[in-house]
Amino acid sequence: MGAKPYIWWAIEPSVAGVVDTLTIAALVVLVAAALAAVAAGLLRAGRLTRRAFLTRPTTGREALVGREAVVRRARGGTGQVLLEGAWWTVRGRDAPVREGRRVRVVGQEGLDLLVEDAENAGGVTEEESP
């Protein structure tokens, strides 16, 4: 079933009225407003994209490097730390880890984190310190 002919009698004057009121000046204003909205959106999207590329990763391997934690348990040169809500097995990069020491993550091998002593990051050992 198609539309009744009297419906077109009601719609046609409305469409004709809208077309008559839209002058060239009104169309120019509408197009300019649309272009300004698109330009503002592109500018905002560009800023958000730039910020996303410059921020530090929050997940994955890159997010853990540089973080510090305290060794909770140590045995046989490895230990465990609670970092970002998860227990990680840590191994010392240069020396075995010791329980109770603050360590800094410097890398990852498999599922183990490689760490260095955060308190002696400058390379000074306990025997050399005054």
Pull the structure tokens for residue 104: 């800094």
pLDDT in tens, 37-60: 999 999 999 999 998 888 876 677
pLDDT in tens, 53-100: 888 766 777 788 889 999 999 998 899 999 888 899 999 988 889 899
Pull the structure tokens for residue 28: 């120019």
Question: Which region holds residue 4: left if phi is over 0, alpha if psi is between -120 and 50, else beta?
Answer: beta
Where are the alpha helices (H) located in 65-107, listed in sequence order? Answer: none
CA distance 75 to 57: 31
CA distance 46 to 8: 47
CA distance 113 to 65: 9
